[in-house]
Structure 1
């Protein structure tokens, strides 16, 4: 009996000591689970504002391209050298945007956590005679691209002047498959690895 009393006393003393230590450290004990939220990402996903190259290149066009950062699509401001005749030319603008996506991110972009999933060889080809208006033909079938790469391409084209009327991006491949219209959605931006851009309505058929 004495041994049981002695053990109980030791246990109570241990509890009291733990409580005293916690109180001394300024920690209040609680039986309620605390949700501290998700751990902050180490990727800033933001490039510091610098003077754009457009100020030094009168014929440079400011554009926004979508790169991957922290498993999401994030827009990055860039400039591309384009002649004045490129204004309104979807083919030239699309080619310039595609080249930006195929290029390796800059040192500042890599430091901020940006990468691109789009890999060459990949080019934009002229639309065919009976393609819907605004069609962009790729040298590879769009559906054969990795989901994140297709999302990068669609969202970048939709943001720029490469989209057809109404913001639909009409893409075809080198084969005989008909072109399809794509739309950049918030879900595709948030989860580009698993959510494909929405297939939207095609603009009126006819020559491009």
Structure 2
């Protein structure tokens, strides 16, 4: 009789251990389960059906936004007079207006954002500025690294705003303008905005 009781007690202990293991989430099988790759939460890619709406008097221009800590282009409508070899100030203002706008819902869902402040303006160069200079209402160095990288790379896509391969920017102060480059490193790491003199030293 005692043997039967001991066997019953042992069986109960085994069942309790199995139940405890199951409750703790411990797998009771050694067969591996392939759940597949984790879905991307920030695709940085707009749906193919998403087309930028623009008027007949506008053209699509690439602007750089921040997505997944990188710079990625999206197409935005700008007046046709601001594209290609247009007047530099007209082109600079049109592109600035687009890159500083908050992304629409479709872009936000894809992970896009902008760091360019809404109050930033671009003005005419001074008489003693180098050719191609654009004067901002803030010192370029005072902008966040991402905002400066967005602006430089967006302007670098327009030939009217590029001088000797760089975008020349100044601010409202007395500091001389500087040239900025949009390199592959700038796009992958917006925190690093390269200037021509730094590139030569490297």
Which consecutive aligned stretches of 4+ in structure 1 deviate over 6 angstroms post-superposition? none
CA RMSD of aligned residues (A): 2.7
Partner in structure 1 of residue 108 of structure 2: 110
Question: Is contact 1:139-1:173 (8 Å) kept?
Answer: yes
Structure 2 unaligned regions, length at least 5: 1-25, 198-202
Quote the Cα distance in structure 1 between the aligned partners of 2:82 and 2:183.
31
Question: Is contact 2:82-2:90 (8 Å) kept?
Answer: no
**Equivalent of 1:64, from 42, 62, 65?**
62
Quote the Cα distance in structure 1 between the aligned partners of 2:64 and 2:82.
24
Alignment of 1:86-165 (within 5 A): 87-165=85-163
Distance 1:87 1:127, change over 3 A: same
- TM-score of the two chains, using structure 2 as the length reference: 0.74
Paired residue secondary structure (2:161): coil
Distance 1:108 1:21, change over 3 A: closer
Quote the Cα distance in structure 2 between the aligned partners of 1:157 and 1:115.
18
Distance 1:157 1:83, change over 3 A: closer
Question: Is contact 2:84-2:159 (8 Å) kept?
Answer: no
Q: Deviations over 1:109-156 (max 9, x none)?
A: 011110001113110000111111111000110000000110001011
Quote the Cα distance in structure 2 between the aligned partners of 1:84 and 1:179.
23
Alignment of 1:5-44 (within 5 A): 21-22=29-30, 25=31, 27=32, 41-44=40-43
Paired residue secondary structure (2:96): helix
**Equivalent of 2:196, from 188, 196, 200?**
200
1:53 and 2:61 equivalent? Answer: no
Following superposition, the deviation at residue 161 of structure 1 comes to: 3.5
Question: Is contact 1:142-1:171 (8 Å) kept?
Answer: yes
Quote the Cα distance in structure 1 between the aligned partners of 2:39 and 2:76.
27
- TM-score of the two chains, using structure 1 as the length reference: 0.72
Question: Is contact 1:68-1:115 (8 Å) kept?
Answer: yes
Structure 1 unaligned regions, length at least 5: 1-17, 29-37, 202-208
